[in-house]
Amino acid sequence: MRVSSSTAAAADVAADTVVVGLIEGEGVPHDVGDGVLAALVASGEARSAPRSLAVTHAGGRRWILVGLGKRESLDGEGIRVAAAVAHGRARELGTRTLCWELPHRARELHPARAVVEGTLLAAYRFDAFKSSRKSEEADDDGGIAELIVSDHSDQTDAVARAAVVAEAVNAARDLQNTPANAMTPTALGRRAQALAAAHDTLTCEVEGRDGIVRRGMGAFAAVAAGTDEEPALITLRYEPTSGAADGTPVLGFVGKGVTFDAGGISIKPSSGMADMKYDMSGAAAVIEALGAIAALQLPIRVVGVVGATENLLGPRAMKPGDVVTSAAGLTIQIDNTDAEGRLVLADCLHHARDLGAERLVDLATLTGAIYSALGRLYSGYWADGEAWGAELAAAAEDAGELIWRMPLHERYAELIKGATADLTNLAPLRTGAPNTAAEFLHRFTGDLPWVHLDICGTAWDSGRPYAPKGGTGVGVRTLVALAERSSSASMRDQASADAAAS
């Protein structure tokens, strides 16, 4: 879908359908014809209740009125949802060029960003493996071809930025939704390499089983031992052309990339196992966020590390009771082979530190227990370092992704002490599983500021109008916003230092 902005009034934009948001008690911002839109409101057909829709015709085009609710309750997510439901109705009506008139007096909500994201995310379809795809492409399926954002002020930059981020989210959803026989660790590495080839500021290195073993990544290698599929240690580096400001920390994004998780010898129940292709959602978020950061040319250095493998049963698979040695030198007893994600991340976090990362964020579909605790609404996060945790929380708020802080505590850390090794990969049952998993990862972050995001509940089937089923691409928006905030904060600090020196 092409995306652009215009300072012309919505009625003057070359679109066959225009969307106008209704805020409770405020009426129609700009009417058309002989008060056609106001009449639709007066009749009760068009309402300000969130997600309500009404359609009319005036001036040779369709008008969709969508409810936004009360102004005091309106936020970016409300606009994002309104854009998604309006897109669905517009598509049903055969719209080819859609124009959105942005809500007035809502600058702080980033309405242009929300409208573009809601529309593009709602337009997402995953049909790569459907035999009808080629014939549909030939016949043109009637999807919306263009989105125009209309506002009194120039929204070019905001619209362009939102389009890049939304496309990155949808690309992450493609990775999540692709069947595991096609989305292998090798295929995941190829996607990272393709992004690096598209951006001069991005480089990629992919190492296989031999390289993982050579680096002493015994924990990662143990997970990969059960599959014949070649694992992949994927390293992406982003170096901005203009250079980062002095003092700007190197960000380290680390993603769990288990492309299929059967649980290993501690095999999962068969119910729901088909969805275990999405156990690489953290990796998808890291890879596509790096692509978006490169496309946006943000002035900050970022290292992305992904550990990609399958977790299967095989003659060389790790066994309950085994002891392995991580790259950090800590020994780990394997008490459950289905607690494999933390093993992969342990070595990847250590690798990110070796590569010079100074602030760490890891994303993983790590524990089903976080889904039990927070459902599909919030991702849980743990932070070592108040300032860095607050920065991540602010980035998530900017991005419109909900996260909820969970505790780190020395008594949780006690529960991961091993009997025959330094650590166990699984604490006793029903003892705060998401927290003990976070404490396990904490042992591999050194003294660096670090945040862990458990996205097990939010990565799949969110039920939101713009991502109802399948992969959600969660984390991409937050990582990009975090990179933006980190670069801006460092640049402000540098400017202040320069001013004080002069």
The 10 Å Cβ neighbour count of residue 297 is 12
| 354 Cα distance to chain centroid | 25
Distance CA 193, CA 78 (A): 36
Separate counts of helices (H) and strands (E) for the chain: 15, 17
Q: What DSSP string describes 255-266?
A: EEEEEEE--TTS
Q: Which residues contact 500 (CB under 8 A, 6 or more apart)?
A: none
Active-site choice (209, 342, 353, 464):
342
Distance CA 370, CA 378 (A): 9
3-state secondary structure of 333: strand
The amino acid occupying position 299 is: P
Q: Which residues contact 242 (CB under 8 A, 6 or more apart)?
A: 297, 299
Distance CA 222, CA 192 (A): 24
Active-site choice (71, 215, 268, 485):
268
342 is catalytic: yes
Residue found under tokens 């997510």: 77
The conformation of residue 11, written as its DSSP 8-state character, comes to G
Helix axis angle, 281-296 to 476-501, nearest 10°: 40
Q: Which residues are catalytic?
A: 268, 342
